[in-house]
Amino acid sequence: MTPQSPGGPGSRYPYHRHVPASSLLNRLSHSSTTLVRALALAVLVTQVLISVTGSVVRVTGSGLGCPTWPRCFPGSMVPISHPEVSTLHQIIEFGNRTLTGLVGFVALACLLAAWWYRPYRPRLVRLALVMPIGVIVQAVIGGMTVLVDLRWWSVSIHFLASAVLIWLATLLVKVAGEGDEPARPVVPQRMRRLLVALTAVAVGMLVAGTLVTAAGPHAGDAETPRLPLPIPALVQVHGLLVMAYLCLLAVFGVWLRNTRPTKALLRAYGATCVVVLAQGVLGSVQYLFGVPEAMVVLHVLGATLVIITVAFLWGESRYRGDLPRSRPATATPDTATVGS
């Protein structure tokens, strides 16, 4: 008698069928739309979080809580008891450094999810790839800042690098929720030019803000030299740029009424107006009260929100079609269940 095959009717396992590993991997490797969008948002949140905690390091004078890099102290990666460095400063600075690992992990997870999304989306993958690379670059800049004893220019570069990453993370969130068609403008050409001017002035506001901070009292360490420029003059420049931004924003809003904007663009414009006005008020109150530590942290948070809203305003001025839905893996004939 001919012996029964392993999967035949006489087998102890009549419904057993071997599933090739490549087919199983194909099923597992497809990212969902929800997962990609959630991870993109997580990238943005962690970028904001590390910028805000960086301001906490600065206003508490904890910038040299870990005086070396990449180690916290010579011969130790973690804080140790030291007569010249307080335990609190060590915890704050080391906590900020540790958070970099979380930011990098989230960025890498987002990159993998974007890479395995089907259909493959090159724009999404490119933006996702920038994020872990940016985390590495930002970590190196942070190390350089410690090694030069928190010189004002290094701290300014450190924050501006974070601003760039927050802008790109915002665009990543936008791309994760839109299509891949060629960009079609939502507003006329003159409004697109005005949007370029708005973005340029926003960059000027951020740079001027870092210079005010560089000349101000919160250096991250009491012994760090400050930018030798008069603070009132720097504040005036910063304030004038804020006023210029608000004027351009008002003109953009007037022109927006004569177009047919999308609801997303209207929401982005409204959010930008609210955030910039609130940030301007907060900055004025902060200056009048002698830049108290808590208000400095809130002002840095406000700066990150300004970057986000401006980036969304930029992104929503273009339309790239609806989001392509993730394509599920299809079962191949050799994965079908025998006897079904």
198 and 300: one domain? yes
In a domain, 296, yes or no: yes
Has residue 39 been placed in a domain?
yes
Give the residue from 148, 143, 289, 294 showing the smallest Cα distance to 223.
Answer: 148
**Domain count of the chain?**
2
Do 97 and 203 belong to one domain? no
In this structure, are 170 and 205 located in the same domain?
no
Q: Choose among 153, 121, 65, 61: nearest CA to 327.
A: 121
Q: Do 88 and 59 meet the contact criterion of CB atoms below 8 Å apart?
A: no
Q: Are 276 and 244 in contact (CB under 8 A)?
A: no
Residue for token pair 């340029």: 200
| pLDDT at res. 160 | 94
> Pick from 180, 209, 228: which residue ends a domain?
180
Q: What is the pLDDT of residue 161?
A: 95
Domain boundary (180, 197, 218) is at 180
Residue holding tokens 């915002």? 170
- A 10 A CB-CB count for 14 gives 13
Kindly state whether residues 34 and 165 are assigned to the same domain.
yes
Residue 260 φ/ψ, nearest 5 degrees: -115, 75
189 falls within a domain: yes
Instruction: Note the pLDDT of residue 238.
Output: 94
DSSP state of 333: G
End-to-end CA distance of the chain: 26
Rounded to whole angstroms, the Cα distance separating 207 from 237 reads 10
Residues 148 and 248 in one domain: no
Answer yes or no: is 5 within a domain.
Answer: no
Segment-wise mean pLDDT, segments of 10 residues, the chain, 340 residues: 48 46 47 90 97 91 86 87 84 90 96 92 95 95 89 91 96 92 90 94 94 84 83 93 95 90 92 94 90 91 96 92 67 39
Q: What is the pLDDT of residue 198?
A: 94
pLDDT at 25: 41
3-state helix, strand, coil in the chain (%, to 5): 65, 5, 30
195/171 same-domain check? no
Closest CA to 27 of 327, 305, 263: 327
Is there a domain that residue 332 lies in? Answer: no
Q: Are residue 145 and residue 195 in the same domain, yes or no?
A: no
d(CA 140, CA 278): 33
- At position 261, the amino acid (one-letter code) is P
pLDDT at residue 300 in the model? 94
Same domain, 125 and 108: yes
pLDDT the model gives residue 59: 87
160/249 same-domain check: no
Select from 180, 203, 236 the last residue of a domain.
Answer: 180
Whether 167 and 209 share a structural domain: no
255 CB-near residues (< 8 Å, 6+ apart): 187, 188, 190, 191, 194
Same domain? 194 vs 315? yes
Q: Is residue 282 part of a domain?
A: yes
Per-residue confidence (pLDDT) for residue 162, from 0 to 100: 95
- Give the residue from 260, 249, 265, 240 showing the smallest Cα distance to 199: 249
Looking at the structure, tell me whether residues 85 and 141 fall in a common domain: yes
Residue 251 placed within a domain: yes
The answer for residues whose C-beta is within 8 angstroms of residue 145's C-beta and 6 or more apart is 63, 151, 154, 155, 157, 158
Q: What residue numbers bound the domain in which 193 lies? A: 184-321
Determine the pLDDT at residue 30.
60
Q: Tell me if 158 is assigned to some domain.
A: yes
- Residue 320 token pair: 């790239």
